Amino acid sequence: MEFLLDLINEYLQNESYSRMVFVGMAAAAALAFAFSVIVLVSSLSSPFEGRKRVLTKSNGLHSGDHSNRVMDSLDPLTKLIVPKQNKHTFEVRLKLMHAGFRSDNAVKNFYAIKILLVVTIFFAVVLSASFLPEVTARQIFVYAALGALTGFLLPSMVLDRLALNRIKTIHSSFPDALDLLVVCIESGLGLSAALQRVAQELDVSHPELAEELNLVNSEIRAGVHRIDALKNMAERTGVDDIKGLVALLDQSMRFGGSIADTLRVYSEEFRDKRMQRAEELAAKIGTKMIFPLTFCLWPGFFLVAVGPAVLTVLEVFGR
């Protein structure tokens, strides 16, 4: 701490002002750190888990109410961490849903993790600089600011990667689910029963998509319309093919068409689309191979083919 105070004093050249700035920075960092830890710890006990403990009587009769009271009491503090509802927070919530984080406290946890990383990395860089006396104060503050910026951007990068990986996983498992759904519908099952059967069959091979289908079945049993439940799944997954299927089913139900025929036609079109995508990737291979051939294989080929002749010519000229 004395090292950080000396760094601040080098800039301000006033010991009293330096102490005031140091106390303010320490108080702000401690407050942000405490708020973030409280939000993360309190959100671990969700209302669903509290209600489950109440029903199973494993943790006392009022544990769910205590969790709700803690979250309600933290609302004034979480407003300081979570920004107001705008386009950015909506995009963050949507990415969290795409990554599989659907709880009400997911956005609060995300921003709390950001603040924790910013505060932790900043002070870790400043304190670790005390072991490097040759580094100047300006360089230390620059490194600390870069570390804080990294801590601020790292959760967003990790979230984008998680969301993209989950979207790719669900997209790759969607053809199997669509074929099973066509078989179930054509065998006489209704749409809800077919979705439940497909979710059971995909539980081992494709657990992410099976979880989404189980959520659709739960919403339908809770009273949500089938198309609305499927639209919610399309929004949660972020897969364009599922959105297309939902739109096609919506039109089919509105105009009284056959769901089996609709699914069969979409399955055939989707299979053709997959074949076209594979043919497109295969056609691009020749262009993509130009750069590896030019920079990796051809130099080695010329070295092996022309190298002995060049050595022989140099030897002749040397004589």
- Euclidean distance between CA atoms 28 and 14, whole angstroms: 21
Residue-level pLDDT at 70: 44
pLDDT (tens digit, 9 = 90+) per residue, 54-94? 544 433 333 344 444 444 544 555 555 566 666 778 888 88
Does the predicted model carry a pTM greater than 0.75?
no
Please provide the average confidence, as pLDDT, over all residues in the chain.
Answer: 76
Q: Which residue has the higher pLDDT, 195 or 15?
A: 195
pLDDT score recorded for residue 223: 86
Residues 6+ apart with CB under 8 A from 107: 82, 89, 92, 93, 96
Q: What is the pLDDT of residue 68?
A: 46
Query: pLDDT tens-digit profile of 222-262?
Result: 888 888 888 888 888 888 888 888 888 888 888 877 888 88
What does the pLDDT read at residue 45?
52
Six-digit token pair at 231?
Answer: 């639209």
90-147 tens-digit pLDDT? 888 888 888 888 877 788 788 878 888 888 888 787 777 767 667 776 777 788 888 8
Rounded to the nearest 5°, which phi and psi values hold at 205? -80, -40
Distance of CA 127 to the CA centre of its chain: 31
Helix (H) or strand (E) holding 266: helix 259-288
Q: Looking at residues 11-31, what average pLDDT do you find?
A: 62
Mean pLDDT across 177-193: 86
